[in-house]
């Protein structure tokens, strides 16, 4: 065995997970295309300052989980492997002048992301996310569209009981008063909180609602909820989104303690969960309205909303429910040969079959013909074409265990294609 192993938190995807990952990715692009979201491919690395500005320099993502790259040569800019895709999408929106396009600008990407996280089931240091971003519309209608795209994508994969856990985080008008109410709720028990949560109490009490510390969780259970403290505009927006989701058939559960800890998040926040699943491992993804991010990154104030769904977590959910797709099939036709000199001919015939739409491969070994036939059976092939010493071809039907007489290649290739079509 090799002395090298995949690095901790990184993994090889083998079958059937590789096929499931590919299916989830293909369906993501199909969902985006069907909804009219333009594909965007973002660089795998950005200036680290972009994430420091967007996510917050003191956040765990930036302070503890960011993979920074050392500057090379005359380039004094520090780059970082992207830990999320939204900041890059907003940077691209600003850089390429997309505000001059009809609004909202609808963007979609499937991205490999990197975080120095503690590896566990469903959480890896390299992972894949399906991101949808709609930039330039502040109304509740676009919220409905974005949320429904994610829910429909998950249902299409077979996760038909997916639920949307929905909340509003208010806005700059109403959230500050709620934050102070929350601080007042936790202050009497501040000495019982962990050091990290005491710091959150001082700087960002909203993050206490995300805490996993037992003392904080216990106190959070009786905390005031933000939906009781929304201003009139935020309350109307939240009511419209809630009612609209019911109208379009998306199962919604109120999640009054679902929050976002950064100031640029406003109003709608949600997660996609499966019934009975709790915590980060149970969440397949989530999203929110980030009306302040474009301005924060140097653009004109612009409302925006988006979601991220973890492809790796989706695959785990499919596996847990017995919904993994079958691994990729072997070739329908194997081209074998009696003489070693026929290898190039075998490859050419297999290429001709593939050009005609069949799944085919050549046996390029110099094994005896019996071993080649055994290999074709093991691979699940439907038929074998045997190149005879005189150049003619023999068709062997592995389903019926029958074999035709050697014949001219044009007729044999046509017969093999008909056989595969009839069995398919």
Is residue 23 assigned to a domain? yes
The reply to whether 156 falls in a domain is yes
Structural domains in the chain (count)? 2
| Residue ending a domain, choose from 320, 348, 376 | 320
Assigned domain for 10 exists = no
Work out the angle between the directed axes of helices 140-156 and 232-247 (0-180°, nearest 10).
40
Decide if 327 is inside a domain. Answer: no
Average pLDDT per block of 10 residues along the chain, 424 residues long: 84 90 96 98 96 82 87 84 96 98 98 90 90 98 98 96 94 92 92 89 87 90 93 97 95 89 85 75 88 95 97 94 80 92 94 94 93 92 94 93 91 92 78
Is 350 found in the same domain as 246? Answer: no
* 307 and 395 fall within a common domain: no
Write the CATH number for 359: 3.40.50.800
Q: Are residues 135 and 253 in the same domain?
A: yes
Q: What CA–CA distance (Å, rounded) separates 192 from 51?
A: 33
Q: Are residues 127 and 156 in the same domain?
A: yes
Pairing of strands 393-397, 383-387: antiparallel
pLDDT of residue 104: 98
What backbone torsions phi and psi does residue 273 show, to the nearest 5 degrees? -130, 160
In this structure, the answer to whether residues 345 and 310 fall within a common structural domain is no
- The answer to whether residue 7 is domain-embedded is no
Does residue 196 belong to any structural domain of this protein?
no
- Domain of 411? 333-419
Cis peptide before 419 (omega within 30 of 0): no
Query: Does 265 share its domain with 371?
Result: no
Both tokens of residue 202?
A: 């001082």
Q: Could you tell me if 164 and 266 lie in one domain?
A: yes
How confident is the model at residue 326, as a pLDDT?
73
Distance, CA of 255 to CA of 226 (rounded, Å): 10
- 289/341 same-domain check: no
- The pLDDT value recorded for residue 1 is 52
Q: At which of 269, 290, 320 does a domain end?
A: 320
79: helix, strand or coil: strand
Say if residue 374 is in the same domain as residue 262.
Answer: no
Residue 292: inside a domain:
yes
Residues 309 and 346 reside in one and the same domain? no
Q: Are residues 289 and 249 in the same domain?
A: yes
pLDDT for residue 328: 66
Tell me how far apart the alpha carbons of residues 403 and 238 are, in angstroms, rounded to a whole number. 69
Q: At what angle do helices 48-55 and 86-95 cross, to 10 degrees?
A: 110
One domain, residues 43 and 133: yes
Does residue 168 belong to any structural domain of this protein? yes
Instruction: State the Cα–Cα distance between residues 107 and 36, nearest whole angstrom.
Output: 9
The whole-number pLDDT of residue 257 equals 87
CA angle 110, 114, 120 (to 5 degrees): 105
Query: The domain spanning residue 72 has which CATH number?
Result: 3.30.930.10
**Last residue of some domain: 320, 344, 379?**
320
């Amino acid at each position: 065995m090799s002395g090298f192993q995949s690095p901790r938190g990184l993994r090889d995807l083998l079958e059937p997970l590789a096929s499931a990952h590919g299916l989830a990715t293909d369906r993501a692009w199909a969902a985006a295309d069907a909804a009219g979201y333009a594909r965007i491919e973002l660089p795998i690395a950005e200036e680290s300052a972009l994430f420091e500005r967007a996510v917050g320099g003191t956040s765990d993502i930036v302070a503890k989980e960011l993979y920074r790259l050392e500057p090379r040569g005359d380039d004094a800019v520090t780059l970082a492997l992207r830990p999320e895709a939204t900041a890059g999408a907003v940077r691209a929106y600003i850089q390429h002048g997309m505000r001059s396009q009809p609004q909202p600008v609808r963007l979609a990407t499937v991205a490999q992301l990197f975080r120095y996280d503690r590896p566990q089931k469903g959480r890896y240091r390299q992972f894949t996310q399906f991101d949808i971003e709609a930039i330039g519309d502040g109304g509740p209608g676009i919220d409905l569209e974005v949320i429904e795209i994610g829910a429909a994508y998950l249902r299409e994969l077979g996760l038909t009981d997916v639920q949307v856990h929905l909340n509003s985080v208010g806005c700059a008008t109403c959230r500050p008063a709620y934050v102070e109410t929350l601080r007042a709720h936790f202050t009497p028990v501040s000495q019982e909180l962990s050091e990290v949560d005491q710091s959150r109490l001082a700087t960002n009490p909203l993050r206490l609602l995300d805490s996993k510390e037992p003392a904080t969780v216990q106190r959070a259970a009786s905390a005031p909820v933000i939906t009781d403290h929304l201003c009139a505009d935020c309350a109307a927006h939240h009511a419209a989104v809630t009612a609209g989701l019911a109208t379009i058939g998306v199962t919604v559960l109120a999640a009054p303690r679902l929050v976002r800890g950064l100031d640029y998040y406003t109003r709608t926040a949600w997660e996609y969960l499966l019934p009975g699943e709790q915590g980060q491992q149970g969440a397949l993804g989530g999203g929110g309205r980030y009306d302040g991010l474009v301005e924060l990154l140097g653009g004109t104030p612009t409302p925006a909303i988006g979601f991220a769904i973890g492809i790796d977590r989706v695959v785990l959910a499919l596996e847990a429910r017995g919904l993994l797709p079958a691994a990729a099939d072997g070739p329908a036709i194997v081209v074998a040969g009696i003489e070693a000199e026929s290898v190039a001919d075998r490859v050419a015939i297999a290429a001709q079959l593939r050009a005609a739409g069949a799944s085919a491969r050549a046996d390029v070994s110099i094994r005896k013909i019996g071993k080649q036939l055994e290999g074709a059976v093991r691979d699940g092939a439907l038929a074998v074409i045997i190149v005879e010493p005189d150049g003619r071809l023999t068709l062997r039907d592995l389903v019926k265990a029958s074999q035709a007489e050697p014949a001219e290649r044009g007729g044999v290739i046509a017969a093999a294609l008909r056989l595969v079509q009839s069995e398919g």
